[in-house]
Amino acid sequence: MINRNHSGAIKTVIIIAMTVLQMSCTTKTPSDLSEESIIPKPVSITSTCDYFTLNAKTAIYVKGETADIIRIGGFLSAILKPATGFPLNVKSTIEAPGSGNIFLMLSDSAETRGDEGYLLTVTKKQLKLVAKSPAGLFRGIQTIRQILPSDIERDSIVERPWEIATGTIVDYPEYSYRGAMLDVARHFFGVDDVKRFIDFLACYKMNVLHLHLSDDQGWRIEIKSWPNLTIHGGSTEVGGGTGGFYTQEQYSDFVKYASDRYITLVPEIDMPGHINAALASYPELNSNGKATELYTGTEVGFSTLSTKKEITYKFVDDVFRELATLTPGPYIHIGGDESHVTKKEDYIPFVERVQDIVIAHGKQIIGWDEISLSTLRPNATAQFWANAANANRAVSQGAKILMSPAARTYIDMKYDSTTVLGLSWAGYVEIDSSYIWDPANYVPGIGREKITGIEAPLWTETITNMKELEYMVFPRLPGLAEIGWTTSSERSWEEYKVRLGKQGARLKAMDINFYRSKQVPWVE
Ligand code: IFG
């Protein structure tokens, strides 16, 4: 017999227990949306403890008939088809579809914040994705991928139920510039490799690909007014391999591939240093009128354009005119790093004149943080990589900062002393090191309001192919993408490493050769 005085208390305990159980979604199928491994971590997730089932009758309805929304529907269909084997036809509609379907639509409703925000609502009857812009829909599709079983990433049919936990996700990014850089100059990577790299960025909602297109060891983009830059300057690479280059047609192909994924391409022609490939291609660019030898080593800081020769500025103008025409994005990266043999009194006016040339061709400049030695033009961005004084000088001139601290974001750094690939001049960068930091307080004086975002450079002195690239990029890239997307107060290493570990099966299904760090509880 329960003592009457206690029955009320017991009733309360039972009600609380039921509520907790309901919230923890105890059924066996994937019915707790908040338990899914989504990277970057969304702003908010509410579970309703049921599940939506994808089946052969499911269609992807898009509201309206714009090319963007049709293409995005097709993109989702192309992701879901291989492993499910379902038709997943894309259909245009003006009103909400019937039960069992996917519905994508654009809306200005308050809940889909910003250019890349989205609202994902999954009920037993429908999966609905709403965004203010096509880019927001595309970012939301990456979340849909991640709340499906990791088998969805396989490229052949997997016979299994395709269930998605129900609930609501409201999401939008912290920073507007969330990117990675691929150095295709030290070792050349072909168009298909660049496209796979773009696929990786798309999966983790990154929106910028910075291509380091020229350096001492190679010139990788065809410039029609200076053809020998690629014919000769593109003919080798670190280690003496055959190198390679992109024709302007190939470059335009992956610019479109990137823009179809709402990824902006930022091309970099590094100058006045890191320029031996150009100096080897054209004697007239050298102060002594003699072409240098092609270089296949890994030293830096030994080359410079002849800042006092007028032909240098014709070269710069021709290169950036052609590159600006090929680049729909707002930025051109002028490099500016490690110009150790350019006198400071020559470097400063050179960088100022190059900025004016890029601006004359309708683009905004980004440069490595040394460019702040010069007077920066309006809308300039300095990419912080090693020198806090340079970054502060840039900010004092009103420039914005793109955060790429080498000790945190350089994914060419070895994980630890046993890593065969990579360099270690900035220290070892294990998974925790690349995750446990906040761009907004990493450099004293560089506050949140000065920062456009974050970028993870992959330098390729020691990286020669896609499998080696994947080993260095994963699993650090997802964490860096999360730092760009998820506000720092919502991030914690202890929680993230478990969520990352759950992506192990997904990375495996995508055939990504990732480093299985012992810091992460991998679930494969
Ligand atoms: N620093 C050089 C890169 C590359 C890198 C390798 C910058 C801006 C070291 N410049 O990083 O060319 O060699 O980690």
CA 248/CA 253 separation, integer angstroms: 9
Residue nearest to atom 5 of ligand 1 (CA): 459
> Among residues 338, 352, 468, 490, which one is catalytic?
338
User: Cα(259)–Cα(353) distance, rounded to whole angstroms?
Assistant: 30
Q: What pLDDT sits at residue 4?
A: 42
Residue 8 has pLDDT above 70, yes or no: no
Probe residue for ligand 1, chosen from 338, 339, 369, 410 as the CB with the greatest number of ligand atoms within 8 Å: 338
Q: What pLDDT was estimated at residue 109?
A: 82
CATH 3.20.20.80 in the chain is located at: 177-509
Task: Answer whether residue 435 shows pLDDT above 70.
Answer: yes
Widest distance between CA atoms in the chain:
104
State the average pLDDT over residues 358-384.
98
Q: How confident is the model at residue 9 (pLDDT cuts 50, 70, 90)?
A: low
Contact (CB, 8 A) for 379 and 356: no
- CATH of segment(s) 25-171: 3.30.379.10
pLDDT digits (tens, 9 = 90+) for 127-153: 999 999 999 999 999 999 999 999 999
Mean pLDDT of the chain: 95
Which helix (DSSP H) or strand (DSSP E) does residue 473 occupy? helix 466-473
What the block records as the tokens of 430 is: 């294990």
What tokens appear for 79 in the block? Answer: 């992701």
- Ligand 1 geometric centre to CA of 158 (Å): 43
Nearest one of 472, 443, 436 to 457, comparing CA atoms: 472
Computed from CA positions of residues 278, 284, 286, 290, in that sequence, does the dihedral angle turn out positive or negative? positive
Span 37-56, pLDDT tens digits: 999 999 999 999 999 999 99
Which contiguous run of DSSP H or E holds residue 186?
A: none
304 backbone dihedrals φ, ψ, rounded to 5°: -155, 145
CATH superfamily of 177-509: Glycosidases (3.20.20.80)
CB atoms within 10 A of CB 155: 10
Give the ranges where 327-376 is alpha helix by DSSP (H). 344-360
264-268 and 101-106 strand pairing? unpaired
CA of 459 to the centre of ligand 1 (A): 7
Catalytic-residue membership of 65: no
Which DSSP string corresponds to 267-296? EE---SSS-HHHHHH-GGGSTTS-PPPP--
CATH 3.30.379.10 location in the chain: 25-171
- Pairing between β-strand 451-458 and β-strand 177-183 as defined by DSSP bridges: parallel
Q: How many other C-beta atoms can be found within 10 angstroms of the C-beta atom of residue 398? A: 12
Is the pLDDT at 61 greater than 60, yes or no?
yes
Quote the pLDDT of residue 27: 55
Give the model's pLDDT for residue 15: 59
Q: What is the pLDDT of residue 20?
A: 52
